[in-house]
Amino acid sequence: MSAEAYRNFRVAHRLIRRVRVVAPPLVRNVERCYILEILLRKRPEISEVRAVPEIGSLAIHYDPGRLPEQRLLAIVDGVLGNLITCPPARPAASVIDGAPLQEHSLAIEGMSCASCALLIELSLRRDPRVQLANVNFAAQTAIVRGTLSRDDVFALVGRLGYRAQPMDTLAQRRLLVEREKGQLMLARKRVIVAAALTAPVMLLGMAMHRSPTLRVLEFALATPVLLGPGREIFDRAWRLAQQKSANMDSLIALGAGAAYLYSLPGLWRPNHHVYFEAAAGIISFVLLGRFLEERAKGQASEAIRKLIELQAETAVLLRDGQEHRVAIDEVVLGDLLRVRPGDRVPTDGVLVDGSSEVNESMLTGESLPVGKRAGDKAYAGCLNGNGTFTLRVTAVGVDTVLAGIVRLVDHAQGSKLPVQKLADRISARFVPAVGGIAALTFGGWLLARSHPTTALAHAIAVLLIACPCALGLATPTAIMVGTGQAARRGIYIRNGEALETAARLTTVVFDKTGTITEGQPVVTDFIAVEGVDETALLARMAAAEACSEHFLARAISAWCLARGAAPAACSDFAAIPGRGVRANCEGVPMLIGNAALLEEAGVACIAQAQQVAVLAEQGKTPVFVAMDGRVAALLAIADQPRQGARDAIARLHRLGIETVMATGDLRAVAQHIARQVGIERVIARATPAMKLELIHELQQQGKRVGMIGDGINDAPALIAADVGLAIGGGADIAVEAADITLLGGDIARVAATVELSRRTMSIIRQNLFWALGYNVVAIPIAAAGRLNPMIASAAMAFSSVSVVSNSLRLQKH
């Protein structure tokens, strides 16, 4: 079957044991992707299938000896064709009632375990108006995309017994942070009350007495523990039971409730054993574990909280010549604000009066303040220095750069890694499975002729020891800490998959100008052809290059203007990526760019070959200027490597990562820069299409490729790479299209990203190992009768705390 015969997809690239296809019918169709994954995994010749619904990509790992590629692709085409013809289980959210897609970020109160998060997520996804729903138990947040309103989302969550809170603006998020602190204090009080009541009950229980008076005292102390601090657990379990659902609260309620109810007859039957100490102890240990877990999760999300706290709560509004202090949410576009010394800039805007120096380290990572005067931009959250200025508001609320940064970190922390799919599948089946094991444990001990109290104690121990919380926290807590640490270093990771893939990079391809070099080139040489009117030439060059945003174009334009050139009238401008610019200035056709641009236009430049060679050996970039089909001048532009670039490349080499430079510059210039920074492989005179081809070539060799560039001419390669890393300024952070954005232009952050990603993935693997291993070992021990229910509940709490604490180790690096 030829490539043209595959009706439902195209092959993106091939390796010996892996093929990646892109299928339009899979784009943004999560359900189809999951079904296709399941169907293909049923074949023993296929070892792994990974779908990326956002772009309709499907990567298939297979055994070519047992299943030839041609046969595999025919199977994929047939299965996909059948899926397309099947009616969808629900209509796509984007077309229901013609309503536009909306994305809502919300905080969810009341989630006590990973099963809660999974229950909410699955319930949201069942709604036909929901296109995407990600619930993060560790962060207690959710991201929902669909055609439903925010109130509809809140109603869906509320029906399950949880409370949703808006966090659309930074002010709302600050209120949530304050509420979280209050909830942590409440959790602490619950633990203290429960412990104070439980301690004497446990002492009386260990005495193994039969005194009716003391049993009544146990009952009197244990009952307030269950109905007071522990009431929330029973309330939530009951609400879920009404919804025919269950989570960890259901297991705890069953365990503690069974122990309590079984003990009641012992109040008037001396020979009947009582378990009041177990019921109270279970609740107390669970509350203690959740308090410690909440405190640890608060440390994990510290990075995003610090970002939120950068937002000023109030602003000084100028109206009719008077100053009024107002809440930040009352500020609207076009307002004039007064910013005094020491204040944080309240929102994004442009200075209209006054001057100052502003610390923008939260955006750029640079500690030196930046001078600001009328016409300059200032950004929310930055700290003003000693000056006073008036600011005209250009962005408010969710449109500010600071809000964009918070949103980026939010999305990264809320996204799910492919490795988490296993944990989700296990958690979804965990609670029912544990209930079944507990029932079998109870029945088995009864069949073994054990006393009912013994059988009940062992069944309760099974219910309590089995905790999916550790499994549910294993990945998101590590992502939260890892992306938070990255944000502190000026590294903004757009999604969890980029974090995982960055850990496995084997090759990094660098653009040169603006990436390895400073991106601030200057004209060093100007050689005009004899007989050319230099004044007219400079005027036309200034006009043509003023239309371009390229680094070299800006350098040429600035050089011309500095020599008093008055830009001529210019029309028919066109930028040719990787080549230069074309324009018509004062009726004269102009070409400004490299030799390849002139060759394509049929302009001979052989006469300047020797001069070009000399300039290139000096590490300078030659730029030709042609007028009316003939070379008019030759320019030389020099750009220096970034400070620390050589150390950054050496650091990548120590990590075992190959480095490649791909640039549109001449080979001599590129090799000169490459020698300075320590890169051995150089691809010169590379167009955007050639860079894209290089990425695909490296991927076909089985390499995991990262591409780092300025995000403009390098956009195709950035998108095609396994991980795209963009050099970005503060204002670009919210709109950058790459997977990872590095602020301030420090390429040492590339190595820091890889190191942090590797440590994060290592922590995730440790967490999953311990969470799974804990349950695999603990459940049989509990079923065998080797665990007391109170010890089981304490161990359950410890498992979750240990996973979060392990993730917090990322903060130490």
* Active site residues per annotation: 511
Range 701-704 contact pairs with CB under 8 angstroms and sequence separation of 24 or more: 701/15, 702/15, 702/16, 703/506, 703/507, 703/658, 704/501, 704/504, 704/505, 704/506, 704/507
Q: Is the dihedral of CA 215, 217, 220, 222 positive or negative?
A: negative
DSSP lists the bridge partners of residue 350 as 377, 392
| Nearest residue to 486 (alpha-carbon basis) of 702, 172, 752, 676 | 752
DSSP lists the bridge partners of residue 132 as 145
CB 217 within 8 A of CB 203: no
Residue 382 corresponds to which tokens in the numbers above?
């930055």
Q: Are strands 681-683 and 630-638 parallel, antiparallel or unpaired?
A: unpaired
Q: Are strands 102-109 and 163-166 parallel, antiparallel or unpaired?
A: antiparallel
Residue 423 corresponds to which tokens in the numbers above?
């944990």
Give the separation between CA 156 and CA 734, rounded to whole angstroms: 30
Q: Tell me the angle at which helices 452-465 and 789-808 cross, rounded to the nearest 10 degrees.
A: 10
- What H or E segment, with its residue span, contains residue 145? strand 141-146
First to last CA, the chain: 53
Grouping H, G, I as helix, E, B as strand and the rest as coil, residue 171 is helix
CB 138 within 8 A of CB 473: yes
| Amino acid (1-letter code) at residue 462 | V
Give the separation between CA 108 and CA 481, rounded to whole angstroms: 20
Radius of gyration of the chain from its Cα atoms, rounded to whole angstroms? 32
CB 431 within 8 A of CB 246: yes
Q: What is the DSSP letter of 738?
A: S
Give the separation between CA 497 and CA 623, rounded to whole angstroms: 41
Give the separation between CA 247 and CA 110, rounded to whole angstroms: 12
532 Rama sector, left if φ>0, alpha if ψ -120 to 50, beta otherwise: beta
Give the separation between CA 332 and CA 344, rounded to whole angstroms: 18
The number of angstroms, rounded, from the C-alpha of 466 to the middle of its chain's C-alpha atoms is: 30
Q: Is 236 exposed, middle or buried (0-12, 13-18, 19+ CB in 10 A)?
A: buried
DSSP lists the bridge partners of residue 316 as 325, 338
Residues 6+ apart with CB under 8 A from 43: 67, 75
Residue with structure tokens 């203007």? 561
